[in-house]
Amino acid sequence: MKKNFFVLSLILFIFYSFNLFALNFPKKADKIEDFIPKGWKSIIIKKGDLNKDKIDDVVLIIEKNDPKNFKKMRNHIKPVLRIIIQELY
């Protein structure tokens, strides 16, 4: 019984931890730059047809622009990879 409770508690902790730290990125935008949250900067923006639907999609790699996370000659912030699949409406 204690083991089941521990496993359930661990699963709930992990689930809520991911939701707590998740960023709210917009689902739709008019410009690619609108997908970049305030306080973040783009590292790479590439366009191409990723899903073979003849519409250019976008790969966007961004990182948080926070000076307290930088150390001498090394950036310890992990960049975020966003893949934006465009659709025709």
pLDDT for 20: 43
Tell me whether residue 36 is in a domain. Answer: yes
Q: Domain containing 33: what range?
A: 26-84
pLDDT for 77: 60
pLDDT tens-digit series, residues 12-69: 666 655 554 556 677 788 888 888 888 888 888 888 888 888 888 888 888 778 776 5
pTM, two decimals, is: 0.52
pLDDT for 16: 55
Tell me whether residue 64 is in a domain. Answer: yes
Tell me whether residue 67 is in a domain. Answer: yes
Tell me whether residue 66 is in a domain. Answer: yes
For the chain, give the longest Cα–Cα distance. 55
Q: Is the CB of residue 68 less than 8 Å from the CB of residue 21?
A: no
Tell me whether residue 39 is in a domain. Answer: yes
Tell me whether residue 76 is in a domain. Answer: yes
Residue 9 has pLDDT above 80, yes or no: no
Tell me whether residue 43 is in a domain. Answer: yes
